[in-house]
Structures are given as structure tokens and as C-alpha cells.
Structure 1
Amino acid sequence: MGIRSRIDALFKGPEEFDLTSGGIGKPLFYLSMPIVVTNLFQTAYNLADTFWLGQYSTDALAAISFAFPMVFLLISLGMGISVAGSVLVAQYTGAGKSREAEYAASQTMTFAAVASLALGAVGYRFVGEFLGIMGASTSVLPLASGYMEIISLGLVFMFGFAVFVALMRGYGDTVTPMLVMFGSVVLNVALDPFLIFGWGPFPALGIEGAAIATVFSRALALAVGLAVMFRGTRGVRIRLADMTPDLDYLRRLARIGFPATVEGTGRALSMNLLLFIVALFPDPVVAAYGIGTRVFSVVFLPAIAVARGVETMTGQNVGAGEPDRAERAADLAAATLFGLLSVVGLLVFLVPEPIVSAFVGADQAAADRVVAVGSRFLRIAALTFGFIGITRAYTGSFRGAGKTLTAAAISVVTLGVVRFPIAWVAAGRIGETGIWLSFAVSNVVGAAIAYAWYRRGTWRTGDLTGSGVDGAIASPESTDD
């Protein structure tokens, strides 16, 4: 059996299942599994970058640690456009309006390019100031600045690829982005040592080599993604004639996407704000916090993937006039994720020490302290992992229905009104344990808010397909390229 046949046997594309009729479990599974794999590829890329830069120098490793929050922030500022495009494509696809879906995808790609170029220019101009505020040392600042300047210049490729993934997901195709991501990650990992250390004919570029490898691999992935969408043989099609900027459509994208930008930026800022509290404690506590958040990022991959699947299923079913089916999908996802993540949380609760120890070097003087503190962090948060699944499932459904403001409000309340204040007050009274408790409390409260808000049923009014954009779209015959 060939590689392609094996992939087809494991994953199914949208042509093999219907998101708006029939069973719910299998379509949601086939939609979500490629997203899990795609996220794992992204994690593998991050680990490879960290490994090679760690071999290069300690300062380079510290520099990329400072650069990551800035990359996350820039991507978060622009993510609203991709969310809006994905929601519109999903709802139009569910409503059977393929031309409107194509127009939405084309306009999204245009404005994503404009936004990413603007954000890249801002990032390039203020990279030094941002890293200085974050506390980068004099030895690390030049390295982190050099890395971020290259990333900022190539942000259009990184963000463009993320938009391609979002638009294809809105259509219901998560397999094609997975395959393109795989090729991009393999290329990135292969290029890293050549450009960092100067293997073969390449000069030794250090941390800037890692940045070039990232930008180049994402640029090639975007080129492949654009070729796929222009051809229109897989997923949603984009047309050159539909890419002329439509300011009325921009306002529509902004209305849907701005709350998603607030949500993503809020998550990025909340992690950075918590760092200010954590930084008041000794280095072992800071290290334990870093290890704990890395563990969470891996544990919650299924929740993020299923939430994206629920977003697409909700969008297509709301567009098809099947809100009851969308609700059943969200409920199934919430129950499944609660059970799965609760089991994982129980395992983490029982044996946190080996997990933390895997991230601690044997020669580190404070290793025992880091393991003790990190294990306490994981134990306190682990038994609430299941509630994260509930929150993710219902906020994903809100986004799919176009209620991005609701999803953003839940995120802001959970992180800004519950987690941060509890961490700030409790840390002053009971030490670092107060920070760990803020995670557990906010996880439970966030799930309760998401569930209660979803049961109000206001998301059912989120059909975006009857807005009269048809007049702005030329007939298919006039736009064939």
C-alpha cells in the first residue's frame, strides 16, 4: 500500500462525509484528527528549533524564549481575519452557496496579506522596545532582535499560511493543510542545522539562520496552499477577480473577526502578565511555571483541535438551518473532551514528578526544587483539565455561529477577571501555590460560564449567510481564470 493510500485509509476528506446530515461523531472525529496531527507537527518544529539553538548557545536559546511571546502576540493581533474567513466559508458552504464561500475566502486572503504586512512593519520597527520591556539582557537582546526582525519581515508568509489552514478548515478539509504542514515542518527541521551552524556551502548564521529557515519553509507552504486554492480541486477556491479589496466586506470581516482578535490577544497578554507575578519568585518557581505551561500546551492539543472541528460543524449547520445538529455536536465534543482530559489529568495528578523531571537537566543545582514546585503546580491544575475541554467545545461553537464576541467575553472573564486577580492576591498570601490555584479555579469557572451561556441559546441567531453580498460577486462565468 502506497503512502497516499495509507493516508486516505487513516483520514477522510470532506467529500467522504457530510457535516450537515447523518451521524455526528464520525464527521467530528475525521474533521478533528488531522488538526491534532497538524498541531503535533507544529510542536515538533518548535522542539527542533529549541534543540538546535540549544546546541548552538545558551544565549540563543534564551533569545528565542524572549522572541516567542512577540511572535504569538503579532499572530494573535491578526488572527481575527482568519477566524472571520473560516466562519463565513463554513456557513456559506453549509448553506450551499459555493460562490459566496469563494468570495469570502478571496477577500479574506487579500485583507490578511494587508494586515500581516502592516503588523510585520510595526513588529520590525518596535522589536527592540518590546524585547527591552520583556527584560531581555544585553547579551540576549541583539540575538532576539535579529531573530524577530527576520520573522517580522516574513510575517506575511507565516500568517498567510495560517489563513490558508483556516479557510480550508471552514470548508471542511483538514487533511490538505495537514499534508502541507508536514512538508513545511520537514523542510524547516532539515534546514535548521545547515543555516544555524553553517553546514556545507551555507554560512553560519546562528539564530538568524533559524528565523530564515522558518520564513522560507512557511513561504513555500503558502505557495503550495495558494496553488491548491486557485486550482479549486480541493477545498474552497479563491479567484483573482474576487481579490480586489472590497471595503464593505472588510467591515464585515472586522465585525466578526475583531472579537476573535481580542480573545487571542487576551490569551497572549494574560500569559505575559502572569510572568510578571511569577518573576517575583525564585528561579525554580519560574522554571516550574515554564514547564507546567509547556505540559499544558501538549495536553490541550486535542481540545484545541476538537474546538476547531466544532467551529466548522457549527458554521456549516447554522448555514444549513440545522442549529439542533450544531448543538448536539457541541454537547458531544464537550462530554468527550471532559472525559478524555479528566483521565489525562488523573494520570498527571498521580505521577507528576517524572513529567517535570523530563524537562530538568541533571546538572541543575536547583533540580530537586524545580521538580517539587512543578509537581505541585501540575497536581493542583490536573484535576481541572476536563473543564478546559468543556470551555473549548462551547467557545468553538460560539465562533462557528459567528458569535465571536461571546467567545471573547468568556475568555476575557476567565483569564482577566478570574485567573489574574486570584494569582495576584493569592500569591501575596500563600506564595506560588496561589498562582497554581488561580489556574484550577479559572478552569472550573470558565467552563461553568461557557456552559451556562451556551444554554441560553443566543448563538442560534448567528446565521451570516443572508447578508446580500451576492450583488458584489460577479457571475462564475465572468471570473473563471
Structure 2
Amino acid sequence: MSLRERLGGAFKDQSELDLTDGAIGWPLFYLSLPIVVTNLLQTAYNLADTFWLGQYSTESLAAISFAFPMVFLLISLGMGLSVAGSVLVAQHVGAGEERQAEYAASQTVTFSILASLVLGVVGYFLVGDFLALLGASPEVLPGAKAYMQVISLGIVFMFGFFVFVALMRGYGDTVTPMLVMAGTVALNVALDPFLIFGWGPFAERGIQGAAVATIASRALAMAVGLGIMLRGSRGVRIRIEDMRPDFQYLRKILRIGVPASVEGTGRALSVNLLLYVVALFPTTVVAAYGVGTRVFSVIFLPAIAVARGVETMSGQNIGAGKPDRAAATNHFGAKVMFVVLTAMGVVIWLAADPIVAVFTEDPEVVDVGATFLRYVAPSFGFIGVMRAYTGGFRGAGKTLTAAALSIFMLGVVRLPVAWFGAHEIGEEGIWVAFLVSNVVGGLLALAWFRRGTWRDGDLTEGPTGAPADD
């Protein structure tokens, strides 16, 4: 019996889910649950790096605090293409246009690979200057630069796998990406200590070794993902003949994808600019900030997963001409995430010290990191609300609205509050900025969604380059 068959009792195939009819809760749950697992496994890459580098040295832990936001920035610059592909696939599937969904997926793969190659080359040569601009200290800069240069050279593999996940999700298959991720994350976790510490026949590479382990794992994940889509036996299919660059179709992808890239890039830039504020404080504060943001990346997994599920269900229902069902999906997801993440915030507030202590033995880092978690934990539920509604905006093709919400929350609220707070009350002013911006973002997303301007988001009328169904 295959692994997929063994997991059949817990996860449903796309063919078993009707996202455009019947109940909302169970389809959203079965769509989102594998995304939670996939994102948890994806986060395991970062957590493994953080754990092993925390054992290696405090300087390495601080270096990874600078490197991770830069990885996020590089990926965000191109993530709009994968979002566009996911939305187009979802709406075409909802409208019953299987062949056009395949064409959208094939074109997305082509342009994502081209974009990642360009970003990788540019990133390799500029990461050192960018890290120095952000205020990385002389002790931290060499390690962060070494990590980022390896990541830049392999960014195409990271892009490739993210596109595979997005396209399969748009089709409604979230199980297959989860299984692919499960295998490759095991490789990364196994390689990390050998390449960082130089165990066995490997040379000691420190922080650079963590980057090599990540890229090797992602390369395998991309190869498997592309193979699955080319074969077409599960989820969306890509065709070699459809992968020839169609610049007429690219305009449609960019119309959806550019605002999504702006949203992701805005998030990444805000994190990087926030590092400029964090860098005003000692290395222990920088390390605590890195640990705290890694913890958030785990806590927010359910919200991110539900947002992706809402995105897919909204896209398919809008493609099927059912905007009221799309709206109900958004409201349901927001309510559930508010309750779940508020409960998780209570747990984090109570257990902040032992959670931070998992990543470092430095008592000062533990103390600062625990304070960070306790400031932000009460606002977790509002992040769930914002994520759910922005997922709905993206599913409707209203990626510009999602981008505007993100930029306002991070650039207009969080960064200014952090800057003035840091100068007035010290590092705790940064933690206050997280709390305030999360609450404002959640309330604003709810108010904007209720305006109803997302309902005219049907994207199934495509350029002539998209083939008709067979």
C-alpha cells in the first residue's frame, strides 16, 4: 500500500472535494489541513537551521536573523507569478475549463523559472551591500552574506517548488505537495548538522552549510514536483508544447501577479527595514528577534493555510459564478482563525520562556525573546482575520487590494511605530509595533471586505493564446 493510500483516511483527494457546492467547513478543512502540514514542513527548514546554528554560535544565530528576511525578499519578488498561476488555475477549474487551466499552469512555470534566474544572479552580487545597508555588524555580516550567496545561486529551485505547490493548490490538490515536502524536509534536517559542524566526511561550513542543505533539498523537491505535473496523473498538468513563452498571456499573469509580488515584497521589505531598527540594539536583541519571528512563522501556519484554502475556494466559486458562496467562505475562515489563533496566543504567552530556550542557551536572549512573544501573543487572532480576507481578495483576482492592506499594515503602521518606539522606550517599542499593526490590519481587512468590491473578479475570459478545452 502506498503512502498516499495509507494517508487516505486523513486527507482527501481533489476528486473527493466539491469546492463549489454543499457545506463550506469540511471542504475548507480538508483543503487547508495538508497546507498546514506542508507549511509546517517548510518551516522545518528554517527551524532546523535556527536550531543547529543556535548551537553553533550566537553570531551565526544573529546572522540567520538577517539572512531569513532577505530570503523572504527574493522569493517575494517573484511570488506574484505563482499566486497568479494559482488564481487562474482555480477560476478555470471552477468554470470547467480544464485545458485553459493547464495552459495557465504551463505559462506560469516558464515565466517563474525565467524570473528566478534573473533574481538569483542579481541577488548573488548585491546581498553583501544590502546586508551592510541594513546594519549587519562586522561579526554578523560575513556569515549572513555567505548564506545568502548560496541561496541566491539556488533560488530557482526554491521558486520551482513554490510554483508546484501553488498550481496544485489552485487545482484543489493540496495532498501531493505535502507528500513531496515530507520527503525533502527529511533530507534537509539530516544534512544540516553534517554540513554545519563538519560531521563525518564533510568539512565544517558553519552557516554556509545550512544554506547548502536547504538548496539541495529544494532542488530535489522541484524535480519531483515538475515530474508530477508533466505526467499529469495528479492535480494540474503542464505540457511542454504550452511552455513556449506567450508574452500576450504574460500580460494577464502580470496583471494579477505584480500586485501579489508588491504585497509579498512589501512584507519582506518591512521585515528587512525593521532589522535596521533592530540592529540599533545589541546582538542578543537581534538574535531574540530572529527566534521570535521563527516562532511566529510556526504559529501563523494555520492562518496561512486557511488563507490559501480560502483563496482556492473563492477562485473556484467565482469561476463557477457563485460569489455569495465565496463570501461565506471568507467569513467562515476569518471567524475560525480568530478563535484558533487567540487560543494559541494564550499558550505562547504562558510558555514564552521555555519556547525561546529551545533555540538558544543564552539567558539574555531567552529573556528578551520571551518578552517579545508576550507582547505580540494577544494580537494573534487579528492576524488570522487579516490572512483569511486577503486570501479571498487574491482568489477573486483582487491582488492589488491585498497588497494595499499589507503595505498599510506594515509600512504605515508597524515601521513608524517601531522606529519611534525604539527611540522612546527601547527594544520593547518594536514589540509594541507588532501588537498595534496586527490589530489594525485585522480590523481594516474586515471593513474592506464588507464593502463587496471584490465580487467582480472573474478572470476566466482570457487572451487568445489560451487554448479552448478539448
TM-score, normalization by structure 1: 0.91
1:332 matched to 2:332? The reply is: yes
- Of residues 381, 388, 400, the one that matches 1:386 is 381
Aligned ranges for residues 197-236 of structure 1 at < 5 Å? 197-236=197-236
Please identify, of 80-89 and 134-143, the stretch whose mean Cα deviation from structure 2 is larger: 134-143
Aligned ranges for residues 48-59 of structure 1 at < 5 Å? 48-56=48-56, 59=59
| Counterpart position of 2:179 | 179
Aligned counterparts of 2:340 and 2:92: Cα–Cα separation in 1: 32
Aligned counterparts of 1:356 and 1:118: Cα–Cα separation in 2: 37
Query: Cα deviation per residue 1:122-168 (whole Å; 9 max; x = unaligned)?
Result: 01121221222233444544443333222212111111111110000
1:425 matched to 2:420? The reply is: yes
Contact 2:135–2:279 (Cα < 8 Å) also in 1 = no
Evaluate the alpha carbon distance shift between residue 224 and residue 136 of structure 1 in structure 2; reply closer, same or farther with a 3 A threshold. Answer: same
Query: Cα deviation per residue 1:239-296 (whole Å; 9 max; x = unaligned)?
Result: 0111111111111111111111111111111122222223334555444433432332
- What is the Cα deviation at residue 432 of structure 1? 3.6
- Of residues 462, 468, 472, the one that matches 2:465 is 472
Aligned counterparts of 1:283 and 1:59: Cα–Cα separation in 2: 8
Aligned counterparts of 1:224 and 1:300: Cα–Cα separation in 2: 27
Partner of 2:7, secondary structure, is: helix
- Of residues 386, 397, 401, the one that matches 2:396 is 401
Please identify, of 75-84 and 271-280, the stretch whose mean Cα deviation from structure 2 is larger: 271-280
Partner of 1:9, secondary structure, is: coil
Evaluate the alpha carbon distance shift between residue 287 and residue 154 of structure 1 in structure 2; reply closer, same or farther with a 3 A threshold. Answer: closer
Contact 1:20–1:316 (Cα < 8 Å) also in 2 = yes
The amino acid that maps onto 1:426 is G
Aligned ranges for residues 71-82 of structure 1 at < 5 Å? 71-82=71-82
| Counterpart position of 1:302 | 302
Please identify, of 445-454 and 73-82, the stretch whose mean Cα deviation from structure 2 is larger: 445-454
| Counterpart position of 2:441 | 446
Aligned ranges for residues 168-317 of structure 1 at < 5 Å? 168-282=168-282, 285-317=285-317
The amino acid that maps onto 2:89 is V
Number of residue pairs aligned between Structure 1 and Structure 2: 470
| Counterpart position of 2:410 | 415
- What is the Cα deviation at residue 16 of structure 1? 0.9
Contact 2:98–2:469 (Cα < 8 Å) also in 1 = no
| Counterpart position of 1:462 | 457
Structure 2 unaligned residues grouped into runs of 5+: none
Partner of 1:8, secondary structure, is: coil
Query: Cα deviation per residue 1:61-87 (whole Å; 9 max; x = unaligned)?
Result: 444333222211110111110111110
| Counterpart position of 1:65 | 65
| Counterpart position of 1:342 | 342
Partner of 1:220, secondary structure, is: helix
- Of residues 412, 430, 435, the one that matches 1:435 is 430
Evaluate the alpha carbon distance shift between residue 140 and residue 381 of structure 1 in structure 2; reply closer, same or farther with a 3 A threshold. Answer: closer
Aligned counterparts of 1:431 and 1:5: Cα–Cα separation in 2: 54
Structure 1 unaligned residues grouped into runs of 5+: none
The amino acid that maps onto 1:42 is Q
Contact 1:242–1:473 (Cα < 8 Å) also in 2 = no
Aligned counterparts of 1:15 and 1:80: Cα–Cα separation in 2: 27
Aligned counterparts of 1:255 and 1:92: Cα–Cα separation in 2: 17
Aligned counterparts of 1:227 and 1:399: Cα–Cα separation in 2: 27
Aligned counterparts of 2:138 and 2:452: Cα–Cα separation in 1: 53
Q: Percent identity?
A: 68
Aligned counterparts of 1:408 and 1:266: Cα–Cα separation in 2: 8
The amino acid that maps onto 2:318 is V
Contact 1:39–1:301 (Cα < 8 Å) also in 2 = yes
Partner of 2:321, secondary structure, is: coil
TM-score, normalization by structure 2: 0.93
| Counterpart position of 1:86 | 86
The amino acid that maps onto 2:38 is T
Evaluate the alpha carbon distance shift between residue 206 and residue 430 of structure 1 in structure 2; reply closer, same or farther with a 3 A threshold. Answer: closer
1:100 matched to 2:95? The reply is: no
The amino acid that maps onto 2:233 is T
Partner of 2:21, secondary structure, is: coil
The amino acid that maps onto 2:452 is G
Aligned counterparts of 2:134 and 2:103: Cα–Cα separation in 1: 41
- What is the Cα deviation at residue 93 of structure 1? 0.6
Please identify, of 338-347 and 91-100, the stretch whose mean Cα deviation from structure 2 is larger: 338-347
Please identify, of 140-149 and 416-425, the stretch whose mean Cα deviation from structure 2 is larger: 140-149
Aligned counterparts of 1:142 and 1:432: Cα–Cα separation in 2: 25
Aligned counterparts of 1:61 and 1:281: Cα–Cα separation in 2: 15
Aligned counterparts of 1:140 and 1:400: Cα–Cα separation in 2: 40
Contact 2:397–2:459 (Cα < 8 Å) also in 1 = yes
Q: Which structure has the higher relative contact order (CA within 8 Å, separation 6+)?
A: 2
Aligned counterparts of 1:443 and 1:191: Cα–Cα separation in 2: 36
Please identify, of 341-350 and 401-410, the stretch whose mean Cα deviation from structure 2 is larger: 341-350
Evaluate the alpha carbon distance shift between residue 475 and residue 129 of structure 1 in structure 2; reply closer, same or farther with a 3 A threshold. Answer: same
Aligned counterparts of 2:305 and 2:270: Cα–Cα separation in 1: 22
Partner of 1:102, secondary structure, is: helix
